[in-house]
Amino acid sequence: DAGVIQSPRHEVTEMGQEVTLRCKPISGHDYLFWYRQTMMRGLELLIYFNNNVPIDDSGMPEDRFSAKMPNASFSTLKIQPSEPRDSAVYFCASSLVGASYEQYFGPGTRLTVT
């Protein structure tokens, strides 16, 4: 298996622009998580899905952030409009129920908003 796939790996955009991050989880995994990592705040859980349904989005910082999972093999995290404080590394992770919830992380998307 190719593991969790994220795209793009790097994104540089100007303040006010829309940003869309993409994730393909490991085939067969039924949980998908979006995290944000910064030096100041560490690793923060933004939202997670179970069987494509959002379960907990309490970590989503503002209404500017939205996430979707239209099917079992694809999820997006959108920021609109983006702001410089959104600059961070965004990780997607997936896991399988019954496997002690061990998570498999993607390589991350480094977002820079200027």
Partner 1 sequence: SQQGEEDPQALSIQEGENATMNCSYKTSINNLQWYRQNSGRGLVHLILIRSNEREKHSGRLRVTLDTSKKSSSLLITASRAADTASYFCAFLSGSARQLTFGSGTQLTVLP
67, exposed or middle or buried, with CB in 10 Å at 0-12, 13-18, 19+? buried
| CA–CA dist 68, 48 (Å, integer) | 10
Quote the least distance from Cβ 77 to partner 1, whole Å. 15
Dist. CA 38–CA 27, nearest whole Å: 28
The distance of closest approach from Cβ of residue 102 to partner 1 in the complex, given in angstroms and rounded to an integer, is 5
Cβ neighbours, 10 Å, residue 31: 18
Q: Tell me the residue length of the chain.
A: 114
Name the residues that contact partner 1, by CB under 8 A.
4, 31, 33, 42-43, 45, 48, 50, 55-56, 59, 91, 93, 97, 100-108
**Cα distance between residue 1 and residue 83, in whole Å:** 35
Residue number, 18 or 56, with CB nearest to partner 1: 56
Nearer to partner 1, 35 or 82 (CB): 35
Q: Among residues 17 and 38, whose Cβ is nearest to partner 1?
A: 38
Q: How far is the CB of 110 from partner 1 (least distance, A)?
A: 8
Residue 4 vs 113, nearer CB to partner 1: 4
